[in-house]
Amino acid sequence: MNHQQIIEYVNAHPSGKVKLAIADIDGVLRGKYISKQKFMSVIEGELGFCDVVFGWDMADVCYDNTNFTGWHSGYPDAKAKLDLSTFRKIPWENDVPFFLGEFIEDAAEVCPRTLLKKIIQDAENDGFKPFFSQEFEWFNFEETPATIHQKGFQNLTPLTPGMFGYSLLRSSLRNDFMTNLFEQLTKFDIPVEGLHTETGPGVYEAAIAYSDILQAADRAILFKTSVKEIASKLGIMATFMAKINENLPGCSGHVHQSLWDTELKKNLFYDEKSTTHISKLMESYMAGQLFCLPYILPMIAPTINSYKRLVEGAWAPTTLTWGVDNRTVALRALPLGKKSCRLETRVVGSDTNPYLALAACLAAGLYGIRKNLKLTQPATVGNGYRDISNGILPRNLDEATKAMQNSDVAKELFGEKFVEHFTQTRDWEWRQHAKAVTDWELKRYFEIV
């Protein structure tokens, strides 16, 4: 729809309201309903949105260590703007009109969507059009918010039992859920290319259609919330935790990416004359990611739980490696053809903020191109967990946050104010974990010590 058609649709919708959302630093969509009259008053300008969304964590506990906002600032409204190009109709809410927004002016420096747009502009200034997509794995349970709290998050009932990846039987068992996901997500402009069960009880995996990178990030962040909302209507709870159980596989949020020319006629990652079909540009892009990964890791592994997934033999990488169609390495090169040649960054978990994950991957790749980095390390053949010749990833959020906090590379890529604020939030996350007494500690020490 064009601008005028959107206005007409909002005016004509019987609900008299609009739903809007903005992503916080953790990738949680914070939003509200506004009247159509209020919407008409802000579409050409701006609206106020409390900057506490950058002053508290995902549990709404206020940070004690951030400079951007806090008790010292009084948590004022920050200026935000709706992006009319994100207009959608929510099919499971009577086609209520929906829009994404972003922060502008001072708050733009810490806004995830605005940061991604800045990195995209950098790419376009260099003559590249980035095309990306993110795929997700996630667990589903026959639970409600009430029952999981009553059970203390223990002994939850998975949607389907057992380990059965790519199972036609298991997808038939709750076909109402799978059908609703496929059909309603597509109607909500989140086109799903593939949807199947993954190994693990109640685990699904979905691949979202490849697109312009900003659209890809919008689709990815909406995908996670949409899945949760669709699931809840069927008595199901979906979780995108990176690791739900130490004995089960983790959940990925792999990022697929390629760079095209400005006319969108040529995939610049593909070289027909090369024996590998990988272009020198793609090699530099990969070299940039391998170099930057230790300094950007909190953006693609943002939680305490993220690092429980990044362990040997759990389908997630632990080493700074690359390979051709190798699922044990950090970067999986897929030089499959002129249109499909791409890079898959496998470090990324399902718990990420898509705006930050995609921004990190793109910025690191562009760094390699700008610095003319050479891909000197050979492709890993076989088990990437055993190839530690080029280093390993930081082992926990504290280690990763310190590496980013002290990195001139991260500040060059994302700006000092973003790096300051983001690493402060990750430091807070680590400290909340460090003071908690866990079930593991109780089981290990309660009786014995």
pLDDT tens digit sequence for 116-164: 999 999 999 999 999 999 999 999 999 999 999 999 999 999 999 999 8
CA pair distance 125, 47, nearest whole angstrom: 30
CA pair distance 361, 130, nearest whole angstrom: 11
Average confidence score pLDDT of the chain: 96
pLDDT band with cut points at 50, 70 and 90 for residue 314: confident
pLDDT at residue 198, rounded to an integer: 94
Tokens of 285: 């892009």
Identify which of 56, 112, 21 has the alpha carbon closest to the alpha carbon of residue 356.
112
Note the pLDDT tens digit of each residue in 224-276: 999 999 999 999 999 999 999 999 999 999 999 999 999 999 999 999 999 99
- Per cent of the chain over pLDDT 90 is 96
Query: Strand 29-35 vs strand 17-23: parallel, antiparallel, or unpaired?
Result: antiparallel
Note the pLDDT tens digit of each residue in 152-190: 999 999 999 999 888 988 888 889 999 999 999 999 999
The mean pLDDT of 322-345, rounded to a whole number, is 97
The mean pLDDT of 42-58, rounded to a whole number, is 94
Instruction: Return the CATH number of 17-106, one of 3.10.310.10, 3.10.20.70, 3.30.70.141, 2.40.50.100.
Output: 3.10.20.70
pLDDT at residue 415, rounded to an integer: 97
For 121-437, give the CATH class. alpha beta
The mean pLDDT of 32-49, rounded to a whole number, is 94
Domains 17-106 and 121-437 in one fold: no
pLDDT at residue 417, rounded to an integer: 97
CA pair distance 272, 322, nearest whole angstrom: 20
The mean pLDDT of 289-297, rounded to a whole number, is 98
The mean pLDDT of 101-111, rounded to a whole number, is 97
Q: Are 27 and 354 in contact (CB under 8 A)?
A: yes
pLDDT at residue 186, rounded to an integer: 96
pTM for the complete prediction? Answer: 0.97
pLDDT at residue 170, rounded to an integer: 86
pLDDT at residue 313, rounded to an integer: 84
pLDDT at residue 75, rounded to an integer: 97
pLDDT at residue 23, rounded to an integer: 98
pLDDT at residue 13, rounded to an integer: 98
pLDDT at residue 183, rounded to an integer: 97
Note the pLDDT tens digit of each residue in 395-407: 999 999 999 999 9
CA pair distance 240, 227, nearest whole angstrom: 10
Note the pLDDT tens digit of each residue in 243-257: 999 999 999 999 999
CA pair distance 203, 140, nearest whole angstrom: 6
For the chain, domain boundaries? 17-106, 121-437
Q: Which residues, 6+ apart, have CB-to-CB distance to 330 below 8 Å?
A: 289, 290, 293, 317, 319, 320, 321, 322, 345, 346, 347, 384, 393
